[in-house]
Structure 1
């Protein structure tokens, strides 16, 4: 089982932690509310991505993966009753409604119906326990210790919550009401961490759905339940705020307290301070989140927008790995945090992780994944590498369905689907906010009279800088339309019906509040400049807009089978990779980098053949920079950031492509004269 993203203000606030625990509950409103599932439909390249998923593993994992296929516990069988079936459903349910796939809807509904229809009279739900099979009894309040771990139920609650927003099926609210009442009555006897530390480390997932139900029924007992779950779970809000935790993870990665450093636990825990703020109104929690996320990305952040997690936090060297589960869970936490806080820094962080870290870790048909990927990755092979969890079978780095742990094979499906679901939010005046960007069509209601409106977001973003919002409505309607200006864009332009308009931003958000008419069009232009950012060991990373660029390397694919983990793919390259970027080129990127727009091809896929943009930059080879055990450890540079060793005299122009289209690459380069 399982630096620079955005500049954050560092606030030390450990001494104020107790305040949040003594204040009376004061539930606060989110800055942005979520859009119901099914109202946002992907289009363009994003739709192509979701269709690939539906046609392959996401749409068919129950047919091709025996652990979920055989006698499934979430259908009443004796098979998988742990996390992997809910993990899969957590991505398959939104996919079914986003592309309106009737077959997939029927498929996921089987599991939802069984879960709802087989809830015990006590409120307990989930697969039939061993004790229940042996005794013929059902788990109730008096024998709650005969139940099973809380953790898989937390994931299934997220599945049910999404299904409810798409269907308004009242059975979901009934199940949650009864289950949370069961938790209220039993947590003293059977606390969150009774069965495993996984539940105690991931209590924020439980808290999130408890508080979501509170927004619907206003039952204050739910706020007390959320506080109790917090008290029985890992102290993430405290740890994120007091800084010692993340520093210790960087300097002392031993076997003690490893669950506190487990990357997936950390990714889920990011949302805990924000959820605690919702319940209490105590802004200390938001300060702790900001401090903790800044520290996390400073000490463990990688150029592709995610932190190291192989499986533990493991520093900021680009040769460290990141587990795929950590990426999709961090994305979802950021999506939740965005709605609660409205802070654009988290929106920028979400786009960076989504467009750069996630796509490079799966095959383009979405049937295989790497358990761990590296930012600087010059081979994909069986091996130990520098991971904190190397595995005896050395399968963590290969591309396989079941390589490494299979949690990621089940969990990877929520990444693109939940990102799609959070392209839009609703603001407080019944308007709408486009806070992260990709092609889609929104169909919702706006204004004082909840008038129906459709907005087609026509764009090739992040590969193109223009975003058109085309509106359709039956009659004119007043509402605020909000747009985010990314932190990397310094000269954004907005046009309404092709007429340039002046605008002001407030905390990175533009509000266009006016009466809108049918066929109105808003165009957002986000000019993308080539920039260079600084990372571990004085390395430099080339960026353009929201995309990070990596050395284009030839790929030679191999195929093999491992007895326990099945078929997998390896990659090698005959391309040179040991290049340093010319210091003079990096100092004057505008004159020294050529941008070549190749355009998006039909049947879009995240692979090298489909890379729509290429950058060219001058470099020199570093002969002494050689692979060590398959890793491209960065060579040592001087205080001025320039490599002092032997460098070839011949200049070469190398080609960079967006990292999401690569499997092998160098993304963090040394500088040379």
Structure 2
């Protein structure tokens, strides 16, 4: 106990008394934007985004379209335009799309060109429009928060272009921030900035790695001091228990799911400067606690808008999913711990696609795990919203932050499939069809590695090395934790085996057209969730009951077009106990070839699982919600169950809009 108190005392010591140290090296170095190119089904997804909202939001969404503040106008000057750019910029360079590059360049150029002499940047403030200059007093500026998002945009843009304006621009801004934070702290204008200061800190440390300017470390300490103390919250644990118990207005910003999603990365980011084990220990403890108390089968924690327990009728805000993905991607790079990659894949392949329509235009503000209908209503959300639009699909349904922010999910996932390693090699930490080009080995020889795979649907990953000359470098491959034993072949010959949770490192002299195959056998298993329910899993995918859907289009004046989805087939099934006890015997996997153009829906799904289920007659929709029947500790639901066995089909969660994913267990 004394040792624990001393650790926390050290963390809370005034930073002026702590010696400044250079940042620790990253375990895995992100590659420049554009070095990784999507292929296969992932390329299909990014093309859908280009023709959908990501590529066209500025053409129809009034906040981005009309007199935009990030282009010098009087319109949106807060978070939504930077949110959109945070996904549109990487999409432009991942697809190497000239039209989209030209679109986003206008916003980047305006920001870079219109930096004030003081270093402040962004849309003209109310004070500036009234003739007051920001350099006279930082109080004449405006909220730090939207600038944090725009800095993320500029970082990505710089890695893609090496635009020489970016580093001096960021340096000048951070000098302004250092000079201002004592009188205009992070939370001066909004609590959002206080909760999300980790994003600010990440940009500071990113710039330090480019320039080595010592003042950035001093600024980093100051920003960390003024940010919500996520490290202490995660490590001391009282916070997460109170979040599970309370839904009142007290300290609700500390329970806000998107704030938590962004705050998760703060301990790892600060660990780069301070070292030791306190920060990463707190992070691991906090994330485990969050997922234990609030986690849901699709890999995300509840967030509707507060953290709200692990019942499968609770919602998840789309912004929370994409921000958690981004946080874990940064944590993975910093720590190198593979468990973060497992968590990223689970939420990416399940929670993310299940909340957005096929055309990537409409989305839900809150999705529900056991979602047997999508309608207007209050339901069980901590923020029901008075127009009752938080669960329906629509371009603007609920709050429009998700309209702007959903675009970073797939793009940043793609940009983090591959990393450079300190031993001058490459590492595949996340898997999807892709192509990576990088310089490797002692002589920095350019190579291209093409990854062909149907993963996460298929269990084989084929890599082909293309190089103009032989080159020696290590190629490291992650074996997911769910895989009992992976096999690796090099040029058709057995290389070795590895158990889940390990890395396979292949160091050799590579020649053109050398091939590696990673085999990841996917067993069908079940996992245990709230109220002793069970979820069917295979590889990184969780599977949900396939329910026939009836889509109904409607509109309201305030939020425009929206869609409700009603079930056209029965859904109130439990899984028989014998299925849970012996899933390999009773769960039949059916696969087919990937479609020529993949979409995350039931029609395109290349995998189905067929089994048997029994109906629970009293399991009905009550107040718009399918309230979860309790499977007792005897592993069986005690209420009335129809003895008739029915053949039911399960599909990947991400391919569903209506579903049961947490099944009661029946006799």
TM-score, structure 2 as length reference: 0.98
1:268 to 262, 269, 276: 262
Equivalent residue for 2:104? 108
Of the three residues 93, 110, 122, the one matched with 1:97 is 93
Instruction: Give 2:597's aligned residue.
Output: 603
- Distance in structure 2 (CA, Å) of the matches to 1:362 and 1:101: 23
Aligned residues of 2:549 and 2:566 also touching (Cα < 8 A)? yes
Aligned to 2:627: 633
Q: Is the Cα–Cα contact under 8 Å of residues 478 and 501 in structure 2 kept in the other structure? A: no
Report the Cα offset of residue 641 of structure 1. Answer: 2.1
2:10 to 14, 19, 40: 19
* 1:220 is aligned to 2:214: yes
1:502-529: CA deviations, max 9, x gaps? 2557961111111111110010000100
Name the residue aligned to 2:133.
138
Aligned to 1:6: none
Q: Which runs of 5+ in 1 are unaligned?
A: 1-11
Residue number in structure 1 paired with 2:228: 234
CA–CA separation in structure 2 for the residues paired with 1:353 and 1:504: 24
Whole-angstrom distance in 1 between the partners of 2:194 and 2:378? 30
Structure 2 gap segments, 5+ residues each:
none
Greater Cα shift, 472-481 or 507-516: 507-516
Partner of 1:278: 272
Q: Answer yes or no: is 1:374 the counterpart of 2:365.
A: no
For 2:501 and 2:361, the matched residues in 1 are separated by 40
- TM-superposed deviation, 1:155: 0.1
1:249 is matched with: 243
Query: Of 41, 44, 48, which aligns to 2:44?
Result: 48
Tell me what 1:621 maps to.
615
User: Shift in Å at residue 13 of structure 1?
Assistant: 5.1
Residues 152-551 of structure 1 aligned to structure 2 (within 5 Å): 152-503=146-497, 508-551=502-545
Greater shift, 501-510 or 521-530, is seen at 501-510
How many Å separate the matches in 2 of 1:343 and 1:653?
41
Partner of 1:4: none
What whole-Å deviation, never above 9, does each CA across 1:422-456 have from its counterpart, x for those lacking one? 00011101101000100001011111111010010
Secondary structure of the residue aligned to 1:655 is: strand
Distance in 1 between the 2:216 and 2:518 partners?
42
DSSP-derived class of the 1:170 partner: coil
Q: 1:636 and 1:48, CA in 2 relative to 1: closer, same or farther beyond 3 A?
A: same
The structure-2 alpha-carbon separation of the partners of 1:607 and 1:13, relative to structure 1 and needing over 3 Å to count, comes to farther
C-alpha distance 61-471 of structure 1, shift in aligned 2 (>3 A): same
Q: 1:250 to 1:261 in 2, by over 3 A?
A: same
- Tell me if the contact between 2:485 and 2:500 (Cα under 8 Å) persists in the aligned partners: no
SS in 1 for 2:649: strand
Q: Distance in 2 between matches of 1:194 and 1:20?
A: 24
Task: Please state whether the residue corresponding to 2:482 is helix, strand or coil.
Answer: coil
Q: Is the 8 A contact 1:505 1:511 kept in 2?
A: no
Q: Secondary structure at the match of 2:44?
A: helix
Deviation at 1:17, TM superposition (A): 2.4
Whole-Å separation in 2 of the counterparts to 1:190 and 1:117: 24
Identify which of structures 1 and 2 has the higher relative contact order when contacts are C-alpha pairs closer than 8 Å and 6+ apart.
Answer: 1
Match of 2:82 in 1: 86
Distance 2:367 2:537 in 1: 20
Equivalent of residue 24 in structure 2, options 25, 28, 44: 28
Cα RMSD (Å): 1.2
Give the secondary-structure state (helix, strand or coil) at the position aligned to 1:327: helix
Contact 1:13–1:284 under 8 Å retained in 2? no
Aligned to 1:62: 58
Per-residue CA shift, 1:301-353, capped at 9, x if unaligned?
00000000000000000000000000000000000000001111110000000
Q: d(CA) in 1 for partners of 2:166 and 2:531?
A: 51
Secondary structure at 1:391 match in 2: coil
Deviations 1:187-226 (A, max 9, x none): 1111100000000010000000000001111112111101
Q: Cα offset for 1:574?
A: 2.1
Instruction: Confirm or deny: 8 A CA contact 1:13 1:241 kept in the other structure.
Output: no
Contact 1:380 1:572 in 2 (8 A): yes
How many residues were matched structurally?
A: 660
CA contact (8 A) 1:577 1:666 kept: yes
Cα distance, 1:21 vs. partner? 4.7
Task: State the Cα distance separating 1:637 from its structure 2 match.
Answer: 2.5
